[in-house]
Structure 1
Amino acid sequence: MKNVLWIFKRDITRLAGNFVAVIVSIGVCFVPALYAWFNIDANMDPYENTAGIHIAVANCDEGTQNEATGSLNAGDKIIENLKKNDALGWVFTGRSEAVSGVRAGDYYAAIVIPEDFSEDLVSILSGKIESPRIEYYLNEKKNAIAPKVTDTGAATIQQQVDETFVSVASEAAVEALQEAAKKASNDASQLNDNLPRKMTKASEKIENAEISLKNNYRTDTQNRAKIAKSEAALSSTEKAAQSASRSLKLTKDTLAVKLAESLDGMQPSFAKMHRLLTQTETALNQSSDAIEQTADILGKAEDRIDGVSEDLSALSSAAIYTSLRQLADGSSLNTDEISQFISSPVNVKTVSLYPVKNYGTAMTPFYTNLALWVSGIVLISVLKMEVDRDERLKNLTASQAYFGRWMTYMLFAFIQAAIICAGDLLIFDVQCENIPAFFAAGILASFVYVNMIYALAITFKHTGKAICVLLVILQIPGSAGTYPIEMTPGFFRALHPLLPFTYGINAMREAMAGMYENYYWKYMLFLALFLPPVFIIGLGIRPLMLNLNRMFDKKLEETGLMICDENGMTRERVRLSTLLAILNGQESFHTKMMEKAEKFEKNYNKLKLSGILLILVLPLIFLVLMFSVSSKMVFLVLWIVSIVGVVLYLTIVEFVHDNLERKLRYASKSRDELLNSLKGRV
């Protein structure tokens, strides 16, 4: 631990005691922050500046004349509305100037309204439908994002065309509706005026008929009474005749007998009179029944007439009748409101959850994390990773050297994170719901990123630095910092949960826009889980790579051009079994090593040449496959893997070559030197 603290103290003393080093250190702390700040400022709210996007508009519409719409020039209406719209830089010009301007790059896009636009727009009213068209010219070469903005301009014009069409159609529909309402209102008025009068007359006639029926009924009743009396008198007379006939027959007088016979001859007449009276009575009864039924029907008819009169009275005062009259005179119709309803019958109510005030705030987590990663790359570019020895550093181990310089790196990492996060909040006033959580996420992200970069770079040297660059390349599209991860190819969707940016960005989003349950701490935990593998690389794998790294530094130093660590740690020793073998038979071991070295040297150049050829040939093969198949990302990954594999092959070749040279050096040492090396191992 003393060595670790001494290295850290010495590093700080060296930096603080050198004015130029202080200036460079300040630059190291602030340069990555500038990367984040300039990008955040540039993307603060770009959609507020779309008025500078020039779009040419050429109106060639000749207008049209239609019975339903009258004179109409939809192109003029569109131009009139666009002049009130300052969302984009509309430039009104002719057709040829607009198209040539797009080709030349003077305009991002051009919109041409053709000559027959209005005529096609109202063709639906004539039954011969012709879809109106607008010509849209787009210069996609000029800028990658601009087409998305100009598409909005085209959509704006299309919306205005839709509104114009709806307005024209609504006016025609309203006029037709008013005509129908006028006719219905007039018919209703006539019905309301004439029908009550006719109903009154009908009711009077029914009342008169009812009076006549009542008089007839009384007459029938009186007639039935008279018939009853006549029937009784006739029966009495018939009985008297029969009695007189019997009495006359008893006298035995001829005249009396003849008179009796005359009385008997009157019996059929009495029977006929009885039948006649019965029939008359039956007819009177039927007449009375008919009169009663007719009176009942007339009563019901009178009730129905009264009901219809009441309904007419209610209808005259009803809201629907009033609405019909208002519809007829146009007082209840608003063409603008009807047009708006027809064009957009449904209003969407937007409820923004975790609202973000501008685009710059939304992009801050991405650019902040990117700047924190750049901070680590700047550190390994400016600060040495290997520790140089002095008289105070005795028996320095690889782990002590690692943590000694690690503390210096972490100090810079914390300072860089604090500066970047503070600048985000103070300079640009980005939205942040939880400032301590935002700083904590930034500091943890910087701690993890710089640890990863430091461990990879010090363990694998230039290869590790290349891996750090490759990681940032993969994390830009794979972390969903800009586009939703669902919009990216499957390769990046699979890579998304394995990247530290994913959790650093999400943790900052939680702190800035608002937290949901324990998601912030979950992202922080997942971000921290990258640390154990990083320490395994730096503390476990690095000691095994010391000789290989020293070899690379030595080879790079020989070029006199490439950067290398001249004071890198080494494990300048061979295995104990090798030392014992040398001591037991130094001459034979030396001869044996010489034979192996000579044999390897014969093939050494061939092995290197084959590796170089593989580096050239394999990428070409995968490059051809990338353009001939659809799964381009798969072959791109295979291309990178093949390069890494070839580099690993060349590294092994070079390591074997260096190992043989080291064994030869040991074989060339004296016995005393070998014994001293053996004592150091015991």
Structure 2
Amino acid sequence: MSIIFKIYKRDMKKIITNTPLMIIIVGLLLVPALYAWINIIASWDPYGNTKGLLVAAVNNDKGAEIKNMEINVGKEVIDKLKDNQSIGWTFVEQNEAENGVRYGKYYASITIPEDFSSSLLSVAANGEPNRAKLIYSVNEKINAIAPKITKSGLTSLQSEITKSVTEEVSNTILNYMNAYGTELEQIKPQLENFINVVSDIDTNLPQIGESINNAYNGAVNMNNFIKNIQGNIYNITNFLDNAQNVIKASNDFFTKFNSAIKNISPYIKSDLAGIKANVNGAKDNLNSFKNSVDTDAKGAQEALKAADANVENAISVINNDINILQSINDILHSDLLSSFINKMQNIRDQLVQNKLNIDNLIKTLSNGSKNFSDAVASVIQNIDKISQFMDDSIGNFDNTISPQISRLVNNTTDMANNSLGLLESEKNTMPLINNLLKDADIGTALGEEHIKSIKDKFPQIEESIHANTEKLKNLNDDEKFNELATFLQKNTKNVSSFLADPIELVQNRVFPIPNYGSAMAPFYSTLAIWVGGFTLLSILSVHVEPFEKVKNLGTTKMFFGRFLTLATLSVLQTIIIILGNLFFIKTYTVDPVVLLIFSIYVGLVFMMIIYTLVSVFGNVGKALALIIMVLQVSASGGTFPIQLTPKFFQNVSPMLPFAYAIGGMREAEGGIIWSSLYYNIGILSIYFFISIIIAIFLKEKVNKKSEKFVNKMRESGLVGE
């Protein structure tokens, strides 16, 4: 140990007393720090200046008309873009946009076509709905990242337009349903009056039967009894005429009500197509995420968020359709419709599960984890299955469910028509009764046989009238009538707002880092420490001069003696880098002390690795150190998540010290999980001791075998020590 420290003291004395060497050492101490600081400052907030990315916006929308109201969604979109500062929106004509994108004046352009409004509102019109289009043109040769940022802005704009249109269309439909619900509630007293009239008729029937029995029992009083009955027949006929007028007045209402219910089928069919479109959009975004992970972490993250938004929109729409179909089925009680609702709920549950999986992928991506490629493939596979299920559901809805709803509509119409039929039947029965009474009058003369015939027919007539009266009473007491009226009178503004935006996202940031520069500091600091060690060993010699009174210093003693010198310089480099990060450019750190101590430890480990390579293998070792550094830049997961890189880099990453150095610094920076920090320290310790073992057992042997080879190279005059 005395010889080791003697070498160290001599080296320190030479550095302090040799001015040129001192100047070089100071430069070597500062250069790595400058390297780290410049890169961290350059990447401090790259996404905070996206408003400098010029994107042309062109509005060719001619507008549309719905329910005598002019609407121009394209103009509303342009107005929103004027208030949007996330991207440099520039509002120009079509030719200017095309030429600007072509020659690089604009990074991209968004064109709103002429039929934009009419396509968006087609869902509320007759016929099949048409999907509206936004034409996105991008010049990808200008910059690799700009297209990802502009497309992210377009995706956000698309979601905002979808939300607004959903709210507007659903509000219009619900307003009509609300009006019918109010009218249904207003007509209810008239319906109750009609039912009371029919009930009075049913109440008088026993009196008629009793009169017939009395006629049968006493022919002497038959003449006066028949006149009394005939008087009642006239009153009953008047009751039926009044009741018919009431039902005819209510029949117009039921016609309007049927029309409103019929509009629900195309609305739901449009929603099913919209769900499929969102599912396909989620699939496309997931594929985009999968394809862009190797080159653009931010773009991949935005694609993943866009897929999450697609699934979220699909869940919102399918929940709305399930609620509407369930409300209809509460009236219809259809096993077929119940089965379809169960299938829709199953698809909804699968969508919810896939959204949870995508949320987990987003969290995994944000936390820098490295193993989720299989999860992405699984989500894409599940989304693809859901898309197929939606195809089956749309076909099933067209072939079976829509006709079932039509039957509900027809049953509603039949309710009014049957009521008229019942009254007409009752009215047609009155002449029969009147004729029977005339026969009874004749029977006074003809005798008991004819009166018995009347008595035998009357119970059947009485039963028919009573049964029809009970049906009308059940209609009045049926809670389904009240449920339907209540459903149609819901607050349209609240419901349409809910349909457009049913979910509020609550973000939970785990180990938050306030800016991109601070997030990149561990990578650039680690790289700077390695560069610092490499530059020291590129300038300073690993050869130790002998002492005058010491014949043989020993290879191991010379190795550790010079290492103390290099380690001291590495510690100084590391301190300058980290303190500069904290106090000069002010990077965010949860625990500065732990960060500084761990970084010094990283510097010592890196110095031992590089020093061992150069000391044992000479110039070849320097080349190896440079190759290892280049490999670690790509395979350490410092910039992009390692899962986004090719398989080779994913396999190599666990074997490289950069990964553990960056991991430990991130613990100190964002929030310490001590087990993770200890793990990184332990792995780095393995590299440290393996380097020592290599130096002890190989340095002297390799140096002797390579001495002739090195001397031969030096004879060329092109190779230094």
**TM-score under structure 1 length normalisation:** 0.63
Q: Distance in 1 between matches of 2:628 and 2:480?
A: 81
Counterpart of 1:94? Answer: 93
Counterpart of 1:191? Answer: 191
Counterpart of 2:204? Answer: 205
Q: Which moved more, 1:50-59 or 1:119-128?
A: 119-128
Deviation at 1:85? 0.8
Distance 1:290-1:363 versus aligned 2 partners, 3 A rule: same
SS of 2:637's partner is coil
Counterpart of 1:42? Answer: 42
Task: Return the structure number with greater relative CO, CA threshold 8 A, min gap 6.
Answer: 2
Q: Distance in 2 between matches of 1:442 and 1:532?
A: 18
Counterpart of 1:504? Answer: 661
Unpaired runs of 5+ residues, structure 2, are 220-446
Q: Distance in 1 between matches of 2:496 and 2:502?
A: 10
Q: Distance in 1 between matches of 2:217 and 2:512?
A: 93
Say whether the 8 Å CA contact 2:181–2:485 is kept in structure 1: no
Q: Distance in 2 between matches of 1:419 and 1:520?
A: 22
Higher CA-based Rg: 1
Distance 1:362-1:189 versus aligned 2 partners, 3 A rule: farther
Distance 1:182-1:423 versus aligned 2 partners, 3 A rule: same
Say whether the 8 Å CA contact 1:78–1:160 is kept in structure 2: no
* Match among 527, 530, 555 for residue 684 of structure 2: 527
SS of 1:58's partner is strand
Say whether the 8 Å CA contact 1:69–1:171 is kept in structure 2: no
Q: Distance in 2 between matches of 1:348 and 1:485?
A: 28
Distance 1:310-1:530 versus aligned 2 partners, 3 A rule: same
Say whether the 8 Å CA contact 1:475–1:501 is kept in structure 2: yes
Q: Distance in 2 between matches of 1:167 and 1:561?
A: 77
SS of 2:141's partner is coil
Deviation at 1:149? 0.8
Q: Distance in 1 between matches of 2:186 and 2:643?
A: 64
What are the Cα deviations for residues 415-469 of structure 1, in whole angstroms up to 9, with x where unaligned? 2222323333334444433444323331222111111111111221221111111
Distance 1:154-1:302 versus aligned 2 partners, 3 A rule: closer
The correspondence of residues 135-534 of structure 1 with structure 2, limited to 5 A, is: 135-192=135-192, 194-196=194-196, 199=199, 201-202=200-201, 205=204, 311=477, 321=485, 324=488, 326-327=489-490, 332-334=491-493, 337-516=494-673, 518-534=675-691
Q: Distance in 1 between matches of 2:34 and 2:56?
A: 37
Distance 1:113-1:321 versus aligned 2 partners, 3 A rule: closer
Aligned: 1:77 with 2:76: yes
What are the Cα deviations for residues 54-82 of structure 1, in whole angstroms up to 9, with x where unaligned? 11112222x14344574332221111111
Counterpart of 1:25? Answer: 25
Q: Distance in 2 between matches of 1:438 and 1:340?
A: 49
What are the Cα deviations for residues 653-682 of structure 1, in whole angstroms up to 9, with x where unaligned? xxxxxxxxxxxxxxxxxxxxxxxxxxxxxx
Amino acid paired to 2:639: T
SS of 1:391's partner is coil
Counterpart of 2:281? Answer: none
Distance 1:38-1:216 versus aligned 2 partners, 3 A rule: farther
Counterpart of 1:630? Answer: none
Q: Distance in 1 between matches of 2:688 and 2:35?
A: 25
Distance 1:389-1:523 versus aligned 2 partners, 3 A rule: same
Q: Distance in 2 between matches of 1:3 and 1:550?
A: 25
SS of 1:143's partner is coil
Q: Distance in 1 between matches of 2:538 and 2:676?
A: 35
Counterpart of 1:133? Answer: 133
Deviation at 1:407? 0.3
Say whether the 8 Å CA contact 2:54–2:107 is kept in structure 1: yes
> What percentage of aligned pairs have identical amino acids?
31
Amino acid paired to 2:42: A
Deviation at 1:501? 0.9
Q: Distance in 2 between matches of 1:395 and 1:544?
A: 16
Say whether the 8 Å CA contact 2:526–2:658 is kept in structure 1: yes
SS of 1:529's partner is helix
Q: Distance in 2 between matches of 1:110 and 1:537?
A: 60
Deviation at 1:89? 1.0
Deviation at 1:409? 0.8
What are the Cα deviations for residues 390-418 of structure 1, in whole angstroms up to 9, with x where unaligned? 42543122222211110011111222222
SS of 1:140's partner is coil
Deviation at 1:31? 2.0
Amino acid paired to 2:102: R
Distance 1:98-1:306 versus aligned 2 partners, 3 A rule: closer
Say whether the 8 Å CA contact 1:196–1:309 is kept in structure 2: no
Say whether the 8 Å CA contact 1:432–1:512 is kept in structure 2: yes
Deviation at 1:194? 4.2
Say whether the 8 Å CA contact 2:87–2:153 is kept in structure 1: yes
The correspondence of residues 570-609 of structure 1 with structure 2, limited to 5 A, is: none
Unpaired runs of 5+ residues, structure 1, are 221-279, 566-682
Amino acid paired to 2:681: M
Q: Which moved more, 1:145-154 or 1:178-187?
A: 178-187
Amino acid paired to 2:145: I
What are the Cα deviations for residues 545-575 of structure 1, in whole angstroms up to 9, with x where unaligned? 224554455445444454x22xxxxxxxxxx
Distance 1:216-1:426 versus aligned 2 partners, 3 A rule: farther
Say whether the 8 Å CA contact 2:175–2:492 is kept in structure 1: no
RMSD: 4.0
What are the Cα deviations for residues 15-55 of structure 1, in whole angstroms up to 9, with x where unaligned? 12234433433332232122222222222332222111111
Counterpart of 1:666? Answer: none
Q: How many residues align?
A: 493
Q: Distance in 2 between matches of 1:215 and 1:38?
A: 116
Distance 1:432-1:207 versus aligned 2 partners, 3 A rule: farther
Say whether the 8 Å CA contact 1:69–1:168 is kept in structure 2: no
Q: Distance in 2 between matches of 1:192 and 1:183?
A: 15
Say whether the 8 Å CA contact 1:112–1:135 is kept in structure 2: yes
Say whether the 8 Å CA contact 1:57–1:112 is kept in structure 2: yes
Say whether the 8 Å CA contact 2:181–2:484 is kept in structure 1: no
Q: Distance in 2 between matches of 1:443 and 1:123?
A: 66
Q: Distance in 2 between matches of 1:123 and 1:302?
A: 44
Counterpart of 1:597? Answer: none
SS of 2:57's partner is strand
